[in-house]
């Protein structure tokens, strides 16, 4: 994917990470650039950098450099022309193109990784989160561990580090809608798509179980679905790893980590033993939401929702979705059992699901990549795929085959 062919976004609004830097950080960024360009020597910074109480930022810095004759008027003019691009490349090795998402503690950008000339998703922890004690180290450690995992469903992590005082990670660019977005635009999923999601999610959870990893945040907002029905799962920020120290597990004991509408009872209670069966419960709650359009339990506050997960009976999914096949109903009931021992392990559920499913699903073909001059990027703003669109390639192939057969028969009759 060549960035030279890509029409780079020139917007410099406050959606960019650079404009979220403090004036002092901007000044230091420009100073480093001038040293790289050999316009300044490191010793010159004693004069050029603003002292306490003096204005800080790119313009005050350049003005001090010019007034102290550290740079010429022509050099100052050239640096000013370079500022927009400089401020958009605050993460060394990456050029930020546009903001494509935001979470509670981070912003995600479409970026170009210059060394490999490819597009990536660049996730940067915001200023408030970065300032918390231990946040940077935890962010880097989490992404370092995630980079060691390899599964077709997982969003791959390529690189992690710290730039301008904020941790970042570069990951696989997945610009397709989340299941949460699809629910919002199209409502409950069709049975065939539900089965594909269930199968692929169970395969991933089985893999994570084998690696001693508990995701702890399985929900529609963390699941992505492309037009061919292929599932991708991201955000291991809350994951629990078997390698976590005993002290860390003790520190987390009693803390409810996750999203209330999809948390297991043991996760809500902050039990000392949280394993992959907790993810199975979250998957059950997710499948309920995807099938019916509403979460299993609701409430006016997060604590009220959590209380219902702990004590209320599991809702009858057939009352909201009478057309669901029995294998999906049974899977949902088993996954959402309040007692973890009744859920079983991930591998057991996957094998049982494959055996019980009345219509085993075969993988759909990967769509061909268009060979155009411009790189094709699927934007999150486009209309999420409908259930019918998943089968359109198959229908097109069938129609072409039927036409070919009819042509051969007509040719044979003419002979």
> Domains in the chain, ordered, with CATH?
1-16+90-173 (3.30.200.20), 22-89 (1.10.40), 179-356 (1.10.510.10)
- In this structure, the chain runs to a length of 415
**Residue-level pLDDT at 15:** 37
* 349 pLDDT more than 90: yes
**Residue-level pLDDT at 19:** 45
* 106 pLDDT more than 90: no
H or E, element range at 332 = helix 326-335
197: confidence class by pLDDT, cuts 50, 70, 90: very high
Give the number of other CB atoms < 10 A from CB of residue 272: 11
Which of 117-121, 143-147, 233-237, 369-373 shows the lowest per-residue confidence on average (mean pLDDT)? 369-373
**Residue-level pLDDT at 37:** 82
Rounded CA gap, 222 and 406, in Å?
47
Q: Which residue has the higher pLDDT, 258 or 231?
A: 231
* 41 pLDDT more than 50: yes
Contacts of 332 by beta carbon, 8 Å cutoff, 6+ apart: 284, 287, 288, 291, 317
* 190 pLDDT more than 90: yes
**Residue-level pLDDT at 391:** 43
Q: Residue 118: left if φ>0, alpha if ψ -120 to 50, beta else—which one?
A: beta
Instruction: Supply the residues annotated as catalytic.
Output: 217
Structure tokens at 81: 């022309």
Which of 108-122, 221-235, 360-374 shows the lowest per-residue confidence on average (mean pLDDT)? 360-374
* 163 pLDDT more than 50: yes
Mean pLDDT across the stretch 136-140?
85
End-to-end CA distance of the chain: 51
Mean pLDDT across the stretch 255-269?
84
DSSP 251-287: HHTT---S-GGG--HHHHTT-S---HHHHHHHHHHHH
149: confidence class by pLDDT, cuts 50, 70, 90: very high
Q: Which residue has the higher pLDDT, 190 or 101?
A: 190
Mean pLDDT across the stretch 300-327?
93
Rounded CA gap, 84 and 87, in Å?
5
**Residue-level pLDDT at 18:** 46
* 374 pLDDT more than 80: no
Mean pLDDT across the stretch 232-252?
68
On average, the pLDDT of the chain sits at: 79
Give the number of other CB atoms < 10 A from CB of residue 388: 9
* 258 pLDDT more than 80: no
**Residue-level pLDDT at 329:** 95
324: confidence class by pLDDT, cuts 50, 70, 90: very high
Mean pLDDT across the stretch 6-14?
36
* 364 pLDDT more than 50: no
Q: Name the DSSP letter for residue 238.
A: T
DSSP 348-370: HHHHHHHHH-SSPPPPPPPPPPP
pTM for the full model? 0.67
13: confidence class by pLDDT, cuts 50, 70, 90: very low
Q: Cα angle at 311 between 307 and 312, to 5 degrees?
A: 100
Return the percentage of the chain with pLDDT > 90, whole number.
42
Return the percentage of the chain with pLDDT > 70, whole number.
74
Q: Which residue has the higher pLDDT, 35 or 231?
A: 231
**Residue-level pLDDT at 382:** 28
């Amino acid at each position: 994917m060549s960035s030279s062919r890509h029409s780079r976004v020139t917007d410099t609004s406050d959606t960019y990470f650079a404009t979220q830097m403090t004036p002092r950080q901007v000044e230091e960024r420009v100073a480093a650039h001038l040293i790289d360009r050999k316009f300044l020597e490191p010793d010159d910074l004693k004069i050029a950098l603003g002292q306490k109480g003096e204005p800080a930022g790119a313009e005050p810095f350049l003005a001090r450099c010019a007034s102290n004759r550290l740079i010429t008027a022509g050099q100052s003019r050239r640096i000013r022309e370079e500022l927009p691009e400089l401020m958009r490349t605050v993460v060394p090795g990456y050029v930020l193109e546009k903001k494509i998402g935001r979470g509670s503690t981070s912003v995600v950008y479409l970026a170009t990784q210059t060394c490999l000339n490819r597009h990536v998703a660049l996730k940067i922890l915001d200023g408030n989160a970065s300032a918390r004690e231990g946040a940077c180290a935890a962010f880097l450690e989490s992404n370092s561990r995630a980079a060691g995992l390899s599964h077709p469903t997982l969003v791959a992590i390529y690189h992690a580090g710290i730039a301008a005082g904020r941790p970042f990670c570069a990951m696989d660019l997945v610009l397709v809608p989340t299941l949460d977005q699809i629910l919002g635009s199209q409502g409950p999923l069709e049975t065939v798509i539900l089965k594909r999601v269930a199968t692929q999610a169970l395969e991933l959870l089985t893999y994570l179980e084998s690696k001693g990893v508990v995701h702890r945040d399985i929900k529609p907002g963390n699941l992505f679905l492309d037009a061919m029905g292929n599932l991708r799962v991201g955000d291991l920020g809350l994951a629990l790893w078997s390698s976590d120290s005993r002290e860390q597990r003790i520190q987390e004991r009693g803390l409810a980590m996750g999203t209330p509408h999809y948390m297991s009872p043991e996760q809500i209670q902050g039990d000392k033993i949280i394993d992959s069966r907790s993810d199975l419960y979250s998957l059950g709650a997710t499948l309920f939401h995807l099938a019916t359009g509403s979460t299993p339990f609701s409430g006016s506050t997060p604590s009220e929702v959590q209380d219902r997960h702990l004590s209320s009976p599991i809702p009858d999914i057939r009352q909201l979705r009478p057309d669901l096949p029995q294998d999906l109903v049974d899977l949902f009931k088993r996954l959402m059992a309040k007692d973890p021992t009744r859920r079983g392990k991930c591998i057991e559920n996957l094998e049982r699901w494959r055996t019980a499913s009345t219509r085993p699903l075969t993988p759909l073909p990967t769509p061909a990549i268009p060979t155009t001059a411009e790189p094709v990027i699927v934007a999150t703003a486009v209309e999420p795929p409908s259930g019918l669109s998943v089968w359109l390639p198959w229908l097109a192939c069938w129609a072409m085959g039927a036409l070919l057969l009819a042509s051969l028969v007509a040719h044979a009759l003419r002979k």
